[in-house]
Amino acid sequence: MSTSNDAQFRTELLSLLPRLRRYALARVATPEHADDLVQAACERGWKARAQWEPGTNLACWMFTIMHNLHIDEIRAKAAQGTDVGAEPLEQLHDHAWTRRLEAKEMLTQVVGVMQQLPQWMREVLMLVPVEGLSYREAAAVLGVPVGTVMSRLARARVELMRRLNVADGEKHWIAA
Amino acid sequence: MKPATFSDETLMAYADGELPAAEAAAVRAAAIADPAVAARIELFASSRRLLRESHDPLLLTAVPASLRETVSALGRRPRATRRRQIFSRALAASLLLAVAGATGWSFIGRGGSDLGAGMAQLPAAIVASLERLPSGGAAEIAVGARQMNMLVLASYDHGGGWCREFELDAGTADEAVQRGLACRDGDRWRLRAFADLAVAPPDASAYLPASGSTDLAPMFGLRAPLSAAEERQRLDRERRR
């Protein structure tokens, strides 16, 4: 890869940092961990930059790298016997979803509710509605069939709205 | 028509605009006929809007400087492309003599250990720093139209005259830090050797005259670096010239 391509790759990577951090934050528990994950993904992406085809979606490519890195990390920790933390959904069953959210503003609530959802829901919600990826692109990032993305995404959105206490057809939450 | 006619996945795909045209037309007809279908579609459409709007502000949070710096430094030092250099390979080749390939150093002179025949003309700003800065000292200098940092590493005695080892760092992503050895030769300073550094130099404060520097000096038969006191004497002498 030529020098100018390298420079362009680096520039695009820099401009993606806010999105990469946002996605990482939805995957891990702390901002520090998210930044570590983003940095590791950027370093891996840089090493593999020859494999990226200019003109294709670099964000998707980087999300894929981050996804795989995070899975590797979870596996490595599991192998060491380190506690990686229970899935948020399992925690939720213990804590119970009892608090009503009407005191908080809806948009803030959405982020809060997202954090309570299990990882498999959070990641599809981040990739498709938030990041604007197509089902096909999200499937590539997650390494699952398109049908799986669709079924996870539909369940995640129904669950999100249920937890926001929004029933079918209610329109009071529309902020725009 | 009941909502169950279409799966949630289908209604969601309709709301997301991911349904093929024929299927989308069927869903649209069902939504018009059945408010429950329309409501289910609205649920998916609303969740998308909500998710997007709630997460957009997160893009405005500041990226930590350390992360930004790490990413902008990717490929910088170890893979510096060395497009623009103060001392070019062409300079060495045209003047030359011997290039000690394996060491990474380019020598200017009639041979790797020959200090007698250096010909390279040093820019005035570099000379001025050589005559002024103690070891460990740094200065921002202009070479041609370019600004760079010059750091003096160590001083060595050389047959009554002296030699100084230094580094130049343009501070950009596409240039390696260059290290050079220059010696006073009568009225002039001459560059005797230079090399691109594969790694970033340590902090300037890490350099002490007595700590010496690199593998370079021994190649020229230079002994241990001058002490701080000895170096001060040489610098005083430079000032009086």
d(CA B66, CA B63): 8
Q: ipTM score of the complex?
A: 0.75
Q: Are strands B120-121 and B105-107 parallel, antiparallel or unpaired?
A: unpaired
Predicted confidence at residue B157, as pLDDT, reads: 86
Q: Which of A14, A110, A158 sits opposite B68 (nearest CB)?
A: A14
Q: What's the pTM value of the predicted model, to 2 decimals? A: 0.53
Tell which A residues from 1 to 20 touch B, by Cβ distance under 8 Å: 3, 6-7, 10, 13-14, 17-19
Q: Are the C-beta atoms of B30 and B37 separated by less than 8 Å?
A: yes
**Rounded to 5, what percent of chain B is helix, strand, coil?**
40, 20, 35
Task: Pick from A114, A137, A150, A170 the residue to mutate for testing the B interface (most B CBs within 10 Å).
Answer: A150
Mean pLDDT by 10 residues, chain B (241 residues): 73 96 93 92 93 88 86 68 50 40 48 39 85 84 78 83 83 68 85 63 35 55 81 89 81
What residues in chain B have their Cβ under 8 A from chain A's Cβ atoms? 7-9, 12-13, 16, 18, 35-36, 38-40, 42-44, 46-55, 57-61, 63-64, 67-68, 70-72, 74-75, 81, 83, 173-174
Query: Looking up tokens 């000690």, which residue turns up?
Result: B100
The C-alpha of A100 sits at a distance from chain B's nearest C-alpha, in angstroms, of: 18
pLDDT digits (tens, 9 = 90+) for A12-45: 899 999 999 999 988 888 888 999 999 999 999 9
Which is nearest to A89 in space by CA: A120, A129, A128?
Answer: A120
Helix (H) or strand (E) holding B146: strand B146-158
Residue A111 to residue B55, Cβ atoms within 8 A: yes
Please report, to the nearest 10 degrees, the dihedral formed by the alpha carbons of residues B46, B48, B54, B58 taken in order. Answer: -170
Collapsing DSSP states into helix, strand and coil, what is residue A175? coil
Q: With an 8 Å Cβ cutoff, is A42 touching chain B?
A: yes
Predicted confidence at residue A134, as pLDDT, reads: 96
What value does the mean pLDDT of chain A take? 80
